[in-house]
Amino acid sequence: MKIAYITYAGDIRYTAANGFNEYNDTLPFLQKKGLDIESVIWDDPTVDWTRYDIALLKTPWDYHQKIDAFKAWLDKITSLNIRLLNDYPTVRWNLDKHYLKDIIADGFDVIPSVFLDQGWRGDLLPVFEELHTTAVIIKPCVSGGSKNTIVVRKHEIAASYEKVLTLLADGDYIVQPLMNEVQNGEWSFTFFNRQYSHTILKKPKAGDFRVQQIYGGSIEPLYPTAGQIAHAATYVERYAKNCLYARVDGLMVNGHFVLMELELIEPYLYLSYGENAVENYYQAILAQIN
């Protein structure tokens, strides 16, 4: 069973923690375990995809910048009967943040969201009123790593309007309230084959809202209660039942977990922050391919 470990040609800016670098060390770990697996850049035109039985999405982190090419690649490997982890329907659904509409419609707890279509030229004030907030985050529906994500405050609507229109000219956007709870940290629960593995807390640096390390954010292991894990698992059971991996990201609001993102395509898994997390990942892959 030959596995393509899907990466991209760009830089990886996450650092090692607890003696393990997820980007540099995961693949050698899996190879030493005996898996027939090798790194493959998803859009490398020289790749002979017929050599592979499985494509395991790990870090195709530029897919949102090349979304049409990525969709064409998905179609190509589908036509070759290559199994994708996570599976094709899940990945296609999770490509666009409109998937949150489905989760909201199903009654799950999600950060309030308003969607603006490409070319929108409406009034921002009703968006603030609908979200009951004085500050919003506006981000692309197809995005990653906080790219083209901005904060607009109610008293700055006039000054920010042209910038918003410029962003909306290139695609659909999602608008959410800038939650004060972001300063307390974003929770990320990781599951493999529906089984809970570990949780980390990502905090932005002072004065920022972005939790990524490249923007100065910090990461620490977190040890949620059984009830908190069970609540996060409800999202996995409903939307990621057959997935190799799922990362459930959100905030604690008044002591209750509220979803921000359900990461099912290429999330960083924070394998160096959870006890036995790397082994959990390997065992989940074994269960999927056997």
The verdict on 68 and 195 lying in the same domain is: no
Q: Where in the sequence is the domain holding 134, given as residue range(s)?
A: 114-178
More confident residue, 216 or 44: 44
Using alpha carbons, select from 82, 75, 86, 173 the residue that is nearest to residue 122: 173
Q: What percent of the chain has pLDDT over 70?
A: 95
Task: Kindly state the average pLDDT of the residues 230-234.
Answer: 98
Residue 7, pLDDT above cutoff 70: yes
The verdict on 104 and 204 lying in the same domain is: yes
Domain boundary among 178, 195, 219: 178
**How much is the CA Rg of the chain, to the nearest whole Å?**
19
Task: Kindly state the average pLDDT of the residues 263-290.
Answer: 95
The verdict on 208 and 131 lying in the same domain is: no
The verdict on 246 and 262 lying in the same domain is: yes
What's the pLDDT band for 203 if we cut at 50, 70, 90?
A: confident
Task: Identify the CATH number of the domain in which residue 89 sits.
Answer: 3.40.50
The verdict on 196 and 271 lying in the same domain is: yes
Structure tokens at 109: 């707890």
The verdict on 224 and 209 lying in the same domain is: yes
Residue 28, pLDDT above cutoff 90: yes
What's the pLDDT band for 148 if we cut at 50, 70, 90?
A: confident
Token pair 């959410």 is found at 176
Write the pLDDT tens digit of every residue in 81-118.
999 999 999 999 999 999 999 999 999 999 999 999 99
Whether residue 271 contacts residue 278, with contact meaning beta carbons closer than 8 Å, is answered with: yes
Per the structure, the count of domains in the chain is 3
**Residues ≥6 apart with Cβ < 8 Å to 246:** 86, 190, 191, 194, 235, 236, 240, 262, 263, 264
Domain boundary among 33, 62, 94: 94
Task: Kindly state the average pLDDT of the residues 33-49.
Answer: 98
- The per-residue pLDDT for 207 is 66
What's the pLDDT band for 257 if we cut at 50, 70, 90?
A: very high
Cα distances from 246 to residues 60, 173, 197, 287, in angstroms, run: 16, 23, 10, 15
